[in-house]
Amino acid sequence: MRPLSMSGHFLLAPIPESSSDYLLPKDIKLAVLGAGRVGKSAMIVRFLTKRFIGDYEPNTGKLYSRLVYVEGDQLSLQIQDTPGGVQIQDSLPQVVDSLSKCVQWAEGFLLVYSITDYDSYLSIRPLYQHIRKVHPDSKAPVIIVGNKGDLLHARQVQTQDGIQLANELGSLFLEISTSENYEDVCDVFQHLCKEVSKMHGLSGERRRASIIPRPRSPNMQDLKRRFKQALSPKVKAPSALG
Ligand SMILES: Nc1nc2c(ncn2[C@@H]2O[C@H](COP(=O)(O)OP(=O)(O)OP(=O)(O)O)[C@@H](O)[C@H]2O)c(=O)[nH]1
């Protein structure tokens, strides 16, 4: 290792053997969907900042962009929050259209309901079907999340209902409390990132930056070789130069 000078500071950092060792972070695009005030924004903010912020204005579709590390891999993560007012069954065409664009853009999905709101649970299946309709050829990873697991006294959706639905749809399922358990929120997002990464086929081989060493001119190399050959005692005829 050699010391690397950066803005007046000396850091010990390995200098890449070649410029092709510079790595780009993987791009991961996620969307969080769910009908009603199920805690989508709270989940995203909890994951990105560790903080639970109790009060949010109803969101109109915010995009979060962050560099994050998942198991040592640097990811350029984008998370699209979607408005909870959207019901895929009975929404206006333009609302469904904007949701479809978001679904088209994303590669991995969190479908969130609140365990205190049975209607939000019922909206998961149509949302899931919508994702599969928009991505007919890819098996984009989907995780179903039952949020607000701390509000047991107000429970309307049993854990078993969540498990059954997830089994039917072939998704992963987790019941969590965004307000009480940061680790569970983190697990959900990290798992989804890993699934998307796997889907990219990038888990083993990391994409390399386009900064690649300039190839040596083949003509110069060839010329050198032929000069060497020509100067070698074994070569008698000057015609060796061609
Ligand atoms: N008790 C409890 N409250 C939660 C939890 N997660 C979110 N909330 C609350 O639920 C309310 C709605 O949370 P939001 O994150 O705004 O919900 P949303 O799904 O983004 O709603 P829209 O912005 O309308 O799409 C807020 O008052 C949050 O504090 C949780 O795990 N437990």
pLDDT of 73 reads: 86
Is 29 annotated as contributing to ligand binding? no
- Give the ligand 1 atom nearest the CA of 176: 31
What are the structure tokens assigned to 147, written together? Answer: 């949020």
32 Cα–ligand 1 center, Å: 13
**Angle between helix 124-134 and 159-169 (nearest 10):** 20
Query: pLDDT tens, position by position, for the chain (242 residues)?
Result: 434 334 434 444 455 555 544 678 889 999 999 999 999 999 999 999 999 988 777 777 899 999 998 888 889 999 999 987 766 666 666 677 778 899 999 999 999 999 999 999 999 999 999 999 999 987 899 999 999 999 999 999 999 999 999 999 999 999 999 999 999 999 999 999 999 998 887 444 444 443 334 444 445 565 566 656 666 665 444 444 43
Pocket test for ligand 1, best of 33, 178, 182 (most atoms within 8 A of CB): 178
Pocket test for ligand 1, best of 33, 38, 182 (most atoms within 8 A of CB): 38
Is 40 annotated as contributing to ligand binding? yes
pLDDT of 234 reads: 54
- Give the ligand 1 atom nearest the CA of 147: 31
Query: Which residue ranges have their beta carbon within 6 Å of ligand 1?
Result: 34, 37-42, 54-56, 58-59, 83-84, 147-148, 150-151, 177-179
pLDDT of 38 reads: 96
**Atom 30 (ligand 1) nearest CA:** 148
Domain limits, the chain: 26-198
Query: Whole-angstrom Cα distance, residue 242 to residue 240?
Result: 5
52 Cα–ligand 1 center, Å: 10
Is 85 annotated as contributing to ligand binding? yes
Instruction: Compute the chain's Rg from CA coordinates.
Output: 27
Instruction: Give the phi and the psi of residue 117 in degrees, each rounded to 5.
Output: -140, 100
The residue behind tokens 């307000």 is: 179
What are the structure tokens assigned to 214, written together? Answer: 């300039």
Pick the CATH number of 26-198 from 3.40.50.10140, 3.40.50.300, 3.40.50.620, 1.10.540.10: 3.40.50.300
Residue by residue, what is the 3-state secondary structure of the chain? CEEEEECCEEEEECCCCCHHHCECCEEEEEEEECCCCCCHHHHHHHHHHCCCCCCCCCCCCCEEEEEEEECCEEEEEEEEECCCCCCCCCCCHHHHHHHHHHHHHCCEEEEEEECCCHHHHHCHHHHHHHHHHHCCCCCCCEEEEEECCCCHHHCCCCHHHHHHHHHHHCCEEEECCCCCCHHHHHHHHHHHHHHHHHHHCCCCCCCECCCCCCCCCHHHHHHHHHHHHHHCCCCCCHHHHC
